[in-house]
């Protein structure tokens, strides 16, 4: 975060290498996640969900996958975009060919 609390000392390397080592950061992230899971689906319009939020989450997932592969494993992947394209095309085909299929079910089927 943008600050460091004084007086919160770590006694092990594992405790110091946490993603959010400060208690206030963990509480803030849990509160932000709770708002994202509970409030956003209740308040957002169908347009915001289908045209903004779902593509944002898809691209975020692709970026996290590339970050893990290139940042932690040190490998370069040229097939990630192809796998994402095949899954997206399969999801589109499921939605186009099966009337009334929910979008999330189509995403799961496209992933399979």
- Please give the mean pLDDT across all residues of the chain: 85
Q: Does the structure show a pLDDT above 90 at 72?
A: no
pLDDT for the residue 2: 61
More confident residue, 69 or 7: 69
Pair 40, 53: CB distance under 8 Å: yes
Residue 90's contacts (CB-CB under 8 Å, 6 or more residues apart) are: 109, 110
Instruction: Quote the CA–CA distance of 48 and 54 in Å, as a whole number.
Output: 9
Instruction: Quote the CA–CA distance of 55 and 92 in Å, as a whole number.
Output: 14
Average pLDDT over residues 19-37: 88
Q: Does the structure show a pLDDT above 90 at 109?
A: yes
Average pLDDT over residues 33-57: 89
Instruction: Quote the CA–CA distance of 19 and 98 in Å, as a whole number.
Output: 42
pLDDT for the residue 3: 66
| Band of pLDDT at residue 93, cut at 50, 70 and 90 | very high
- Rg from Cα positions in the chain: 19
C-alpha angle 60-30-11 in degrees, rounded to nearest 5: 105
């Amino acid at each position: 975060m943008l600050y460091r609390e004084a007086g919160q000392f770590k006694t092990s390397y594992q405790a110091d290498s946490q993603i959010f080592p400060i208690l206030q950061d963990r509480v803030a992230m849990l509160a932000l996640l709770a708002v994202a899971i509970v409030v956003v689906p209740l308040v957002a319009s169908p347009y915001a969900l289908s045209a903004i939020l779902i593509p944002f989450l898809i691209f975020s997932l692709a970026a996290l996958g590339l970050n893990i592969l290139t940042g932690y494993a040190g490998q370069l992947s040229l097939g990630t975009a192809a796998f994402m394209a095949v899954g997206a095309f399969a999801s589109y085909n499921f939605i186009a060919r099966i009337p009334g299929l929910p979008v999330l079910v189509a995403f799961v089927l496209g992933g399979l």
